[in-house]
């Protein structure tokens, strides 16, 4: 068998984050060239990672930091750019073959759509744009001829289980969830930011770590799965699996179930997105099942974690509901991290935003961006 030719140079959006760092590690091990790296505000980290990765371009999202980035990169041979438009230009540069979308939150929407329109291999970790504007991202990918390969571990698992199958064969998608740090905590009214930031199995950025504690991460992933695989949310089931070894499953109509398993290390799904459709040698060993012992599964507690029902409702309603759910959650999580609201307020804020939503059917990108901005302004 001939060796698979790796995709051409990468653009890593959100290179200074948790997924970004894992992507840089995978790229280096695979010998994939990195053309562009981007970050929001951390100039020194961005410059260091651009130089280390041998990138040609570094983009800082905050335009005010352009002079600082230029100074940090002086003499390095790495070009410096800044601002939202420059993020899109990095993601669509002709030198770039694959874009790893690893910005956190709605800020990744414009570059994700730009990369899709430009026909890049689009490796998506950044789930929020898919939740907000899934049909528009898919339409852009169709128009540009882009292949979307999920990086989110559950969706990577489902993507792999579905290979060679048709969506009509599927009875149910089964998304597994670790259950987060509060799986067995009865009373969530007094939990602290510090407690919420300790995830039992995964090491991730702060926003998704809080989302895992509220199960909003899994809730967003239900909508993400509906978008990516065309299976309606009512046939996307969430199952708590505290060991995080079974990354998700597909139940087919004949009762047969396929699952993808692995250690909880994001380098596995990141690498697969980059080397798809082949599995190549990588840094993560397969699980040692005899040492792992039991793998367990349980129903999520929808009463303690109302995020799940809110997401199913938003998925069923469609329109602007998923975008409003996402925006309300982003501002609520930021407020919780800043100590301005309590843990349970996150659910209350999202619930209120959905209740008060004035919806439109088949929203345009402008409608979605306006709803996103209005929700942030109103519930911050
Ligand atoms: P992180 O906070 O560690 O990193 C986020 C990155 O995005 C940083 O490089 C930051 O500079 C950049 N960024 C933030 N705001 C920005 C803005 N306004 N404009 C431009 N850039 C901006 O986050 P993470 O944990 O790496 O997660 C990234 C995305 O991947 C999220 O959508 C998350 O849900 C998803 N994801 C993460 C994991 C994980 O293991 N960390 C797993 C699955 C999915
Ligand atoms: Mg996930």
Tell me which residue has its CA closest to atom 43 in ligand 1.
152
pLDDT per residue as tens digits for the range 336-378 = 999 999 999 999 999 999 999 989 999 999 999 999 999 999 9
User: In the structure, what pLDDT confidence band is assigned to residue 1 with cuts at 50, 70 and 90?
Assistant: very low
Q: Which residues sit with Cβ closer than 5 angstroms to ligand 2, an ion?
A: 152-154
Ligand 1 mean position, distance from CA 204 (Å): 9
Parse the chain into domains and list their residue ranges.
Answer: 10-151, 155-265+287-375
190-221 tens-digit pLDDT = 999 999 999 999 899 999 999 999 999 999 99
Contact between 157 and 259 (Cβ < 8 Å): yes
Domains 10-151 and 155-265+287-375 in one fold: no
Give pLDDT tens digits for 115-128: 999 999 999 999 99
Instruction: State the pairing for strand pair 170-177/246-252.
Output: antiparallel
pLDDT tens-place string over residues 11-46: 999 999 999 999 999 999 999 999 999 999 999 999
d(CA 5, CA 359): 46
Q: How far is the CA of 363 from the centre of ligand 1 (A)?
A: 26
Counting every residue written for the chain, the total comes to 380
Of 22, 102, 331, which is best to mutate to test ligand 1, by the most ligand atoms within 8 angstroms of its C-beta?
Answer: 102
Query: Which pTM does this prediction carry?
Result: 0.97
- Of ligand 1's listed atoms, the one at least distance from the Cα of 126 is 32
Determine the distance separating the centroid of ligand 2 and the alpha carbon of 67, expressed in angstroms. Answer: 36
Question: What tens digit of pLDDT does each residue of 305-318 get?
Answer: 999 999 999 999 99
Cis peptide before 277 (omega within 30 of 0): yes
Pocket residues: Cβ below 6 A from ligand 1? 14-20, 39-40, 42, 61, 102-104, 107, 125-128, 152, 202, 204-205, 207-208, 266
CA distances from 22 to 45, 62, 172, 319 (A): 15, 23, 31, 34
* Topology of the domain covering 155-265+287-375: Rna Polymerase Sigma Factor; Chain: A (1.10.1740)
Express each pLDDT in 154-174 by its tens digit: 999 999 999 999 999 999 999
Expressed in angstroms and rounded, the spacing between residue 128 Cα and the centre of ligand 1 is: 10
Please identify, by atom number, the ligand 1 atom nearest to the C-alpha of residue 206.
Answer: 2
Q: What is the CATH number of domain 10-151?
A: 3.40.50.720
247 CA to centre of ligand 2 in angstroms: 8
User: pLDDT class for 380, splitting at 50, 70, 90?
Assistant: confident
In sequence order, what are the beta bridge partners of 59?
38, 81
What band does 8 get if pLDDT is binned at 50, 70 and 90?
confident
For residue 151, the CA-to-ligand 1 centroid distance in Å is: 12
């Amino acid at each position: 068998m001939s060796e698979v030719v790796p995709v051409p140079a990468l653009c890593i959006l959100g290179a200074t984050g948790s997924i970004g760092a894992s992507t840089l590690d995978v790229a280096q091990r695979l010998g994939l060239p990195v053309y562009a790296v981007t970050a929001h505000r951390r100039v020194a980290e961005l410059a260091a990672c651009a130089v280390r990765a041998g990138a040609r371009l570094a983009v800082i999202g905050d335009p005010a930091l352009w002079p600082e980035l230029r100074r940090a990169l002086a003499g390095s041979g790495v070009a410096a750019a800044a601002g939202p438009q420059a993020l899109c230009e990095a993601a669509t540069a002709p030198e770039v073959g694959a874009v790893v979308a690893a910005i956190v939150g709605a800020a990744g929407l414009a570059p994700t759509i730009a990369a899709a329109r430009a026909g890049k291999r689009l490796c998506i970790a950044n789930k929020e744009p898919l939740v907000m504007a899934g049909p528009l991202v898919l339409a852009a990918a169709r128009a540009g001829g882009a292949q979307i390969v999920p990086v989110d571990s559950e969706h990577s698992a489902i993507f792999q289980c579905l290979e060679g199958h048709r969506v009509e064969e599927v009875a149910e998608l089964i998304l597994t969830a670790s259950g987060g740090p509060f799986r067995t905590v009865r009373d969530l009214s007094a939990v602290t930011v510090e407690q919420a930031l300790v995830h039992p199995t995964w090491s991730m950025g702060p926003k998704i770590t809080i989302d895992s504690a509220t199960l909003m991460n899994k809730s967003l992933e239900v909508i993400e799965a509906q978008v990516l695989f065309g299976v309606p949310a009512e046939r996307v089931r969430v199952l708590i699996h505290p060991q995080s070894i079974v990354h998700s499953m597909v139940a087919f109509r004949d009762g047969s179930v396929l699952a993808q398993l692995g250690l909880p290390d994001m380098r596995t799904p990141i690498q697969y997105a980059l080397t798809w459709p082949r599995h190549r040698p990588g840094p993560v060993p397969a699980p040692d099942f005899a040492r792992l012992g039991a793998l367990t599964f349980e129903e999520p507690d929808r009463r303690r974690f109302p995020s799940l029902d809110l997401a199913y409702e938003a998925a069923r309603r469609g329109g602007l509901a998923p975008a409003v759910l996402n925006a309300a959650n982003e501002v609520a999580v930021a407020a919780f991290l800043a100590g301005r609201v309590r843990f349970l307020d996150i659910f209350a804020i999202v619930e209120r935003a959905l209740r008060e939503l004035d919806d439109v059917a088949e929203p345009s990108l402008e409608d979605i961006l306006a709803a996103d901005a209005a929700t942030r302004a109103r519930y911050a």
